[in-house]
Amino acid sequence: MAAQSNTGHGGRRCHVLLFPLPYQGHINPMFQLAGLLHARGFAITVFHTHYNAPDPVRHPHYRFVPVPDGMSGPAPVAILDVVAHIIAMGRACEAAFRDRLAAVLEEYSRDAVACLVADTHLLPVFEVARTLSVPTLALRTGSAASCACFLAYPMLFEKGYLPVQGIGAPRSFDRCIVESQRDMPVPELPPYRVRDLVDVGEDHLGLERELIARAVAAMKLSSGVILNTFDALERRELERLRRDLAMPVFDIGPLHKFSPAGESSSLLRQDRTCLDWLDAWPLESVLYVSFGSLACVSARDLAETAWGIAASGVPFLWAVRPGLVHGSSADDPDHRHLPNGFEAATRGRGMVVAWAPQEEVLRHRAVGGFWTHGGWNSTAESVCEGVPMLCCPCFGDQMGNARYVGHVWRVGFEVGGELERGSVEAAIRRLMADTDGAEMRARAGELKKAAAECTRKGGSSCLAIDKLVAHMITM
Ligand code: UDX
């Protein structure tokens, strides 16, 4: 898309500054937003950490400003290490970001700097911007529902919904009581049940509460929140958010439909040979399997999933990224850890890649189902292509996303409980071959149409983008 010229006050060039959180599920929407704003004529400057730094060569139209993050050592793998890493990285960047931002503002002083858009998980970035009088907008990369859940976090503790009981509890703990508590509805946040709330267990509550409280503080320091969702998908949740936040909420998703991320913001090399492989399969016959960029699975769960896929007889494309299995390293050459005999059992009807061009895979006519961890980007990408989902949520907002998939949009279902090859096989057959699955696919097709409507000229997301651009220019 050619960039229109956008000028701020007095006809000066108008800059937008961006600061993504350096994880794949957060980098993608930020770069999609960058593409969209650049197409609207803004000059883009991206501040970034050294950790997972973007490659400027892939984005020749943007300016990049590295911010030393002082972080060393291996990349975090366990989700709690990731949470700790996010908090530590934000703090470690603060002083260097202050210097870099001040220098950039001085350099751009003849132009107009509209605002800084940062990921909600980078609170110190918002604080620094405020001290330098730079207005901010917060990019929240999850759904509107999960954002509302963040805002409701203090209430969830006050009323005793959280912490979810029983995670990490001793064996003597009564499992029936635990399960019935986890199934309790949360009437303040329908359709969530206790088990769908963001929770990583009692042992680590401090860290998790801090992460969420900081994200909420970042939103409250901003003059608006940008969400990668759209009106037809989350109308009620967006209304609630607008009421609770009392600031503009821009529902400009699905961002990848305005500005695909593709290879340019991918941290791993996408294996595009799978697109040719998909060409050979009939319409909606292939199951795509991926657990996103952060979730890890045990070797046992990977094996049960593999044998369930094998027994289903369904053709599949599986993205098994390096480091996916607990305890394995992202540099391990034999990263796949698939069980012996699996390849022989599925020869001719399966392909395994380390990392797929997911947006294109989901758009491919041969793909008829998605076995997903339910990260928000994956969920939104699947919804927009009318692909029904089998959700196997792992942490954070993924349980809540699975709840919406199964009970609100009814475009898939959660594979609950301990993974067993028999239940995996049954779930795949239900999605790919039963009338039940066909109904989910039909509803997914309706959502695909609704997403397309939103992104059309005059559609809700297009209008929200116009409002965002107008808001930025007047900030
Ligand atoms: C995490 C959380 O799970 C998510 O809910 C939160 O909103 C962001 O952080 P992640 O685990 O990375 O995200 O999952 P997801 O949100 O689905 O993002 C993964 C991204 O990587 C997607 O944009 C997907 O298209 C891309 N991807 C994934 C690939 O390009 N290739 C692959 O093989 C797998």
Nearest CA to ligand 1 atom 34: 292
Bridge partners of residue 249, in order along the sequence: 225
Please state the rounded mean pLDDT for residues 155-184. Answer: 72
Residues 6 or more apart whose Cβ sits within 8 Å of residue 181: 164, 165, 166, 194
Residue 471 annotated in active site: no
**Is there a contact between 293 and 24 (Cβ–Cβ < 8 Å)?**
yes
Please state the rounded mean pLDDT for residues 93-114. Answer: 96
- Res 313: pLDDT: 98
Please state the rounded mean pLDDT for residues 68-86. Answer: 82
Q: Is the pLDDT of residue 82 over 50?
A: yes
Taking the C-alpha atoms of residue 457 and residue 462, their distance in angstroms, rounded to an integer, is 6
Q: Using the mean position of ligand 1's atoms as its centre, give its distance from the Cα of residue 27 in Å.
A: 9
Q: Using the mean position of ligand 1's atoms as its centre, give its distance from the Cα of residue 294 in Å.
A: 8
Nearest CA to ligand 1 atom 27: 358
Nearest CA to ligand 1 atom 4: 375
Ligand 1 test: best mutation among 121, 255, 377, 405, most atoms within 8 Å of CB?
Answer: 377
ipTM, 2 decimals?
0.98
Q: Using the mean position of ligand 1's atoms as its centre, give its distance from the Cα of residue 164 in Å.
A: 25
φ and ψ at residue 396, rounded to 5 degrees:
60, -130
Report which of residues 263 and 228 the model is more confident about: 228
Mean pLDDT of the chain: 92
pLDDT in tens, 455-470: 999 999 999 999 999 9
Rounded to a whole number of angstroms, the CA Rg of the chain reads 22
Q: Is the pLDDT of residue 2 over 50?
A: no
Please state the rounded mean pLDDT for residues 264-293. Answer: 97
pLDDT band at 28 (very low <50, low <70, confident <90, very high): very high
φ and ψ at residue 391, rounded to 5 degrees:
-100, 130
Taking the C-alpha atoms of residue 327 and residue 55, their distance in angstroms, rounded to an integer, is 28
Across 31-35, 306-310, 320-324, 428-432, least confident range = 320-324
- Res 156: pLDDT: 93
Taking the C-alpha atoms of residue 181 and residue 11, their distance in angstroms, rounded to an integer, is 59
Catalytic residue among 48, 69, 85, 119: 119
Q: What is the pTM assigned to this prediction? A: 0.95
The two tokens of residue 44 are 């883009």
Phi-psi region of 101 (alpha: psi -120 to 50; beta: other; left: phi over 0): alpha
Residue 362 CA, closest ligand 1 atom number: 25
Residues 6 or more apart whose Cβ sits within 8 Å of residue 48: 19, 20, 22, 54, 64, 65, 66, 67
- Res 202: pLDDT: 61
Which residues have CB under 6 Å of ligand 1?
23-26, 28, 141-142, 266, 290, 292-295, 319, 355-356, 358-359, 375-378, 381, 396-398
pLDDT in tens, 357-389: 999 999 999 999 999 999 999 999 999 999 999
Q: Is the pLDDT of residue 170 over 50?
A: no
- Res 425: pLDDT: 98
Residue 121 annotated in active site: no
pLDDT band at 5 (very low <50, low <70, confident <90, very high): low
CA nearest to 25, candidates 398, 420, 365 = 398
**Is there a contact between 119 and 65 (Cβ–Cβ < 8 Å)?**
no
Report which of residues 166 and 311 the model is more confident about: 311
**Is there a contact between 305 and 424 (Cβ–Cβ < 8 Å)?**
yes
pLDDT band at 27 (very low <50, low <70, confident <90, very high): very high
Q: Using the mean position of ligand 1's atoms as its centre, give its distance from the Cα of residue 381 in Å.
A: 10
pLDDT in tens, 237-252: 999 999 999 999 999 9
- Res 198: pLDDT: 83
pLDDT band at 1 (very low <50, low <70, confident <90, very high): very low
Q: 74-109 burial by CB neighbour count: b if 16+ within 10 A, else e? A: eebbebeebbbbbbebbebbeebbbebbeebbeebe
Residue 26 CA, closest ligand 1 atom number: 8
Q: Using the mean position of ligand 1's atoms as its centre, give its distance from the Cα of residue 377 in Å.
A: 5
Q: What share of the chain is helix, strand, coil (3-state, %, to 5)?
A: 45, 15, 40
